[in-house]
Amino acid sequence: MPWQSLLETRDRLPAGPLDDWYAALLGRAGDSSPFALAVLGGCLAATPGLAFLAGYQGALRALWPAAPRSLGALCVTENRSSRPADLHTRLDGLHLSGRKDFVTAAEAADWLLVAARSEEQGAPRLAVGVVRSGAPGARIEPLPALALMPDIGHARLHLDNVLCELLPGDGWDSYVKPFRSIEDLHVLAAITAWLYGIGRDGGWPAALRLRLLALIGGCAEVARHSASEPVTHLLLAGLFAQFEALRPEVDAAIGAGAESWAALWTRDCNLLAVARSARDKRLEKAAAALGF
């Protein structure tokens, strides 16, 4: 992680169309690691939603190091479930058919990782295929903006015999399952970096800014470990506990500053709580495995 660049970063990127904003971020980030991309994007973001987007894109690249540089999305959820048994999207050879109901930034994405059931080799298994936006048979249906992060769109993806590039490995164990923790980590780092930037510019107490930096440093260490290991889930839970312990000070500091920042934080401050139940289940299993 290039800490000096984080400390020196000042000029935020103006909000705009997501693909344009992300292209501008890539111009600033160069060949940064996925984690550094998430942190730099958080520090440069004009909104918590854009910080989330930077963390999400960093997580995708940590999951799939060969990902194109352009903006992408992971497509798993169907009927509010991501359990393999509940997925109806099917892979037939190299063609995908089905529907994904909740795809983050789908309208701006250049490529899509699609989880699908495959039954060609006996027992059903999960596979992940890469679909290019605009491919024949692929259609994006925009969904209404959410109250949380309304600047980050979501859409439904329809697939009708769409040609894909199949990724190696088991779709669940190699991609869908680890991504949950990878995304949590990178988004936490990006949101913390956003808060650090607000605090630096707003003259927050040095002790609070130092604790935010320390939290990002903890995220950087956990990013070095496999997302499938129980100890990683334990450490990740510790990082979220640190963030929650900082919340009263953060809320007070941002509330005492510019109204524009306070309004954004009031609107989006709960974005890290969206996946809390899944994290709690992973922590419970990790704690049992490690005798914690």
Whether 107 shows a pLDDT value over 70: the answer reads yes
Going by pLDDT thresholds of 50, 70 and 90, the confidence category of residue 274 is confident
Residue that the structure tokens 């992940």 belong to:
128
For CA atoms 173, 85, 108, 197, the dihedral sign is negative
Whether 123 shows a pLDDT value over 90: the answer reads no
Going by pLDDT thresholds of 50, 70 and 90, the confidence category of residue 163 is very high
Closest to 33 measured CA to CA, from 7, 78, 2: 2
Mean pLDDT of 94-102: 96
> Is 26 within 8 Å of 71 (Cβ atoms)?
no
Structure confidence by residue, pLDDT tens digits, 187-224? 999 999 999 999 999 999 999 999 999 999 999 999 99
Options 2.40.110.10, 1.10.1660.10, 1.10.1050.10, 2.60.40.2550; CATH for 72-170 is: 2.40.110.10
Going by pLDDT thresholds of 50, 70 and 90, the confidence category of residue 84 is confident
- Given the DSSP bridges, would you call strands 72-75 and 111-118 parallel, antiparallel or unpaired? parallel
Which pLDDT belongs to residue 122? 64
Calculate the alpha carbon distances from 50 to 79, 105, 119, 128, 165 in Å. 26, 11, 38, 26, 29
> Is 191 within 8 Å of 148 (Cβ atoms)?
no
Question: In angstroms, rounded to a whole number, what is the distance separating the alpha carbons of residues 86 and 12?
Answer: 41
Q: Which two tokens stand for residue 248?
A: 């009263």
Which pLDDT belongs to residue 141? 97
Task: Count CB atoms within 10 A of the CB of residue 136.
Answer: 9
Q: Which two tokens stand for residue 125?
A: 């298994």
Write the DSSP symbol of residue 47: S
Q: What is the pTM of this model?
A: 0.96
> Is 190 within 8 Å of 42 (Cβ atoms)?
yes
- What phi-psi label fits residue 105: left (phi over 0), alpha (psi between -120 and 50 degrees) or beta? left
Q: Name the β-bridge partners of 99.
A: 158
> Where do the structural domains in the chain lie, given as residue ranges?
72-170
> Is 76 within 8 Å of 115 (Cβ atoms)?
yes
Residue that the structure tokens 């930034």 belong to:
105
Q: Which two tokens stand for residue 2?
A: 């290039």
Residue that the structure tokens 């980050």 belong to:
152
Q: Which two tokens stand for residue 118?
A: 């495959």
Q: Which two tokens stand for residue 66?
A: 């060969």
Going by pLDDT thresholds of 50, 70 and 90, the confidence category of residue 1 is low
